[in-house]
Structures are given as structure tokens and as C-alpha cells.
A and B are shown apart, each in its own frame.
Chain A
């Protein structure tokens, strides 16, 4: 991959040099040839930032964590804002509310609302705890994920999650979403008299 990039850069430089004499100023950008701006990131540079986790588990790192480990981490680093057992405090509730979405008072939590369990891992790692994001080890993130999912019985209390088992978790509201059709949004009526 890296060899290819180097080749491409050399190629682009040659093309630009050759093309300068015949190109008019103000020629449309990207009219075929790359402009040769920027450089390829190294594999190491990419590794540090390539943190996203997809629904099928792509991106999940090695490691594993139990509900028990997760509870220890949660109580120490999460409960102050999210409350004991994820019931909510100054920050929103993370558990409870399963089956409430169609009621007059829906409670949107991980267990009741989120379609994918992998997103829990992704978000905890990138953004939590609030005062120190990206500080948890992958074992700790697996553990907190397992603990939060266990609160709504999505996984059993003795669960140990890793890349494979987390990707296999099916969330209660997995089928609850449909793509929006922006063209079908509610439109008003342009009545001008006796409306």
C-alpha cells in the first residue's frame, strides 16, 4: 500500500511538471489529474486515529472484559454523572425503559433504543469518561459495555465480551429503525383566505 502511494506521488509530480506549460491558469480543479496536495499518512499515523467501530464489529480491538470488571470501572468513573446502575443523574440514564418507546413517556437508553451494541464500545472509548476520554483500556471498555448491557438483560450477569461476542449481540430495538424519506415530510397548505 505504502509503495503504491509513493509511486503515485512520484507520478503526480511528474504529471504536474509536464502539464504546467499547457494548462491555462484557473483550470478546473480535479479535471482529471490530482493536484498533488498533501501526503499519504503512514500506517502508524493511521493506526492511532482509526478508532471507529462498525455494526459488524470491524474496528473492535483485541481484549475482553466481564460484567464484574465493568461494574468496578463504572462505579469509579461513570456513576457520578450517570447514576448508580446507569439509572441517570446529571447525565442521561443509560439503562431501563425497555418497551417504553411507544408509550407517552418513552425512555431512550442503550437497552431500549440503540440498534447496535458495537456503538456502545465505540462511544465509550472515544468520548468517556467525560473528563478523560480515550483513557480506558480496551478490557475496561469491553467490561463497561458488558455491564451496561447486563443492566437491561441484553447480556447475562456473568457475560465476558470481546470483539466476536460483542458483534454477535442483538439489541432489543434492532428492528425499530427505518430510513427517513425527507421527500415525504409533512408540508403545509398555502391557504390565503378563510383558512
Chain B
């Protein structure tokens, strides 16, 4: 190729880059993939050199905040299957993700009165009640505190709740998509509470959001002090609006509802505040009509993602069974996998680093012989807690229980290779 640097060549290049820019803009609006497909693909396969190999590619990031490949447009959060007149939440496409960190654009969301659009310059956190020095903090104040960064999962306590009643939902996303995992940055709650000086009578904290529900939960002081964080960043960027921008509470291993988003107020009291969320919701109704209150912990749980519901397995071929496990009690110690509906189990390999209260990836090589089978995974954590069977869980709790469903998930592989949700 001649390198004459002629004006003509420069002009041609710049015109081409203009064309690419407009293509990238189309991509941002979702129309790019169909354009590419419309050009046909067979000519791009070996032994031919593909069109993307035989002409220069696009320029730097455009838009400046990058987007996934337009070919990945099916990897999105979905709304709940039942229509709801009030916005409630979206679920993470677990089976379409890799590793253990959830991209922020796919992190599940749950809200009780919509997502507020908060100007961070006008956001304040008030800390008061049984403290020596009530505080009013703006976002600049909050980032000045010594910071910490931790990787933890967050799970809605209503995740998988439809399974109490019977098999419902087809994909891992539909059934278990109210769990995600991220790297969180903020200031320890203990640091801010020490700044305010909690009085000895201060035993519970009311956390309140700035959303239209002024969302509130009561948190025991011990729990808040242990690992609680006031978070302003997620996976390296500022929180997304649906995750509580500009400030949220984060309580590792604890039901998601308590990690109050859009946090505006912490009030220290001597006893629980008994808000609507911890009385009418997020309590566990037992078969005898009594109910448990303040059941905070998210127990050990796991789910096979590959293969999982609606996917297809080919007979006689190699597959890596792979999925995620997590526990609110600490680190995952082991994950066992059964390929015969729970009669026999093999210990899967855990991919490190295995972090406390974080998603952990497990893997097990497998070759399917073509006969119908049921695949299961069972997590055990460092406290010795073992994920229970569905039968045992429902026998203990009944089917009116709503929260904290953590039973073993079964996936049935039919003779056709089709994988579906089953209650084995």
C-alpha cells in the first residue's frame, strides 16, 4: 500500500469516518444489528475474509459512554411477567452473564414509588436521634470520609418467591433474577455513626430514602456497625439512578429491602420503628398464622445457569455445567452438583477468589448421554449451612411464605435436550 499522504486519501478516510460515526449513532438507537444482518453473513465466513477484516473499523467510543455490541441487544433486564400498574422492579439476565460481577446496566432493580431524579448538589443526609452531634452531610462531605471498596451480592428477599407455590417462570432470570453482585465503594456506616457519636441507648437505626415512598426500614445497631456502608459508587462509576443515586445504604448479606436507596436520613433510636415495610411486608407468615419479624439474613443459595431453563443441550457432546452460589453468612465453602435429580452428588470446582457475601462461580465438566435427567446444585457456606431441598423448605414454611426462598433449583433436561424449570 502506498503511503503518499495525498490530500485525496486523507479526505477519503475522513469521509469514511463520518460514515462510521453515523453508523455508530444508529447502533446506539438499536438499529445497527439489523443493518449488518441485512448485508448477509455467508460471505464473511472462512475461507473468505470478512468485510470487517477488509476495511477499517469504527473510530473511538461513540457515544463517549460505551455501549455493548449491538449483537448483544437481547441481554437486558426484563419486567415481571405479571402486568403491574405500579413500577416495581426488573431482573438480571443471570444466564446470559459471565463471571460474578453484574454490569451496572443489568443490575436488578426494585423500587416502591419509582426512580427519583436527584440532583446530587441538593441531596443531603441527616444523621440525628440518639447521637451526640447531629449531622447534615452533603455529597462532598460524604466522599471526604475515609472510603472502602467491597465486592458483595445484593438479593431481594422476595427473589424466587413464586417457587413456594409451584414451578413458575422459565429462565434463571425470571425465577432468580433479583440477585446481582457488584463492587461497592463508599464510607463505612460505622465511620459516619462515630462522627455523630451514638449514645449508649442507641440500639436501632431508622434509614429513610428520598424517594416518593420515603422508604424506611429499622436496622439493629450491631448489624449496621458490622459491615454497613453508605455507598456512592458501583463497579467504579457513580450509582445508577435506579440503584439509589447519589447515595444508598448497603448491608452485605442482608435482604435487599434494607439497603435503603436514595438515602436521606439516619435516625438513631432505642427500639425498632415498626415501619410499614417491616410489618405489612418483609415479615414471614407461618402456617399457624403467626409471623416472624426482622428476618434479615439471606441464606446460602445456588443456581445452575448453564444449562438452564429454555436452553438446549446436545446429546453426546461436552458441556461445562456452570452457575453461581452465594450466602449472606459469609464465604461459599462448596457447591455440589447432581445430574440425576439428587440421588448422587459431585463437588464442583469453585473459581476464586471466593469472597464473603459475594457471588461465587462453580463449574463441573459433563457429557450428556441423551436420557432425560434432572440437574441440581447445592451450596454450603463457611458456617456449615447447607441449601435445603424444595420439599423440606415448603414442608417447614408452607406455601403462604413469601420471602427468603433458597431451595435447591432443579432443571429438567428432556430427551429432546430442552431444559425447563422443574420441582423434582
Chain A interface residues (CB < 8 Å from chain B): 5, 8, 29-30, 34-35, 37-41, 45-46, 49-52, 54-55, 81, 90-91, 101-106, 108, 110, 113-116, 118-119, 122-123, 126-127, 130, 133-134, 176-180, 182, 185-195
Contacts and interface: CB of A to CB of B under 8 A. Distances in A.
A188 B386 contact: yes
Given A29-B191, A190-B336, 12 more contacts: A35-B145, A38-B195, A40-B134, A41-B136, A51-B214, A113-B279, A115-B274, A123-B275, A123-B276, A186-B397, A188-B389, A195-B344
Contacts, number: 183
Contacts of A29: 145-146, 191, 194
B289 interface: yes
Contacts of A194: 343-344
B424 to A, nearest CB: 12
Contact of A30 (B138, B194, B214, B274): B194
Interface of B: 85-86, 112-113, 126, 128, 132-138, 141, 144-146, 190-191, 194-195, 197, 206, 208, 212-214, 216, 264-265, 267, 269, 271, 273-276, 279-280, 283-285, 287-297, 299, 336, 342-345, 378, 380, 384-389, 392-393, 396-397, 400, 404, 408
Contacts of B386: 187-190
B214 A134 contact: yes
B271 to A, nearest CB: 8
A54 B274 contact: yes
A120 B289 CA distance: 21
Contacts of A122: 275-276
B291 A5 contact: no
A21 to B, nearest CB: 20
A39 B214 contact: no
14 contacts: A29-B194, A37-B141, A38-B135, A39-B135, A50-B267, A52-B208, A52-B216, A101-B291, A122-B275, A130-B113, A186-B393, A188-B387, A193-B345, A195-B343
A118 B276 CA distance: 10
A23 to B, nearest CB: 13
B279 A116 contact: yes
A188 B378 contact: yes
B108 to A, nearest CB: 22
Given A38-B141, A119-B279, A192-B336, A130 B86 contact: yes
Given A49-B265, A110-B280, A116-B274, A40 B135 contact: yes
B285 A101 contact: yes
Given A34-B197, A50-B267, A91 B214 contact: no
Given A130-B86, A188-B378, A190-B336, A176 B276 contact: no
A60 to B, nearest CB: 13
Contact of A41 (B86, B126, B336, B404): B126
Nearest to A194: B343
The 5 closest A-B pairs by CB, nearest first: A102-B289, A180-B295, A101-B289, A188-B388, A30-B194
Nearest to A189: B386
A186 B144 CA distance: 43
A116 B283 CA distance: 14
Given A49-B265, A90-B85, A119-B279, A180 B113 contact: no
A34 B195 contact: yes
Given A187-B386, A189-B386, A102 B126 contact: no
Contact of B136 (A39, A54, A118): A39
Contacts of A134: 214
Given A51-B214, A186-B393, A133 B388 contact: no
B165 to A, nearest CB: 12
Nearest to A103: B289
B266 to A, nearest CB: 11
A177 B290 contact: yes
B294 A40 contact: no
Contact of B292 (A91, A118, A177): A177
B137 A37 contact: yes
B322 to A, nearest CB: 20
Contact of A188 (B86, B145, B274, B408): B408
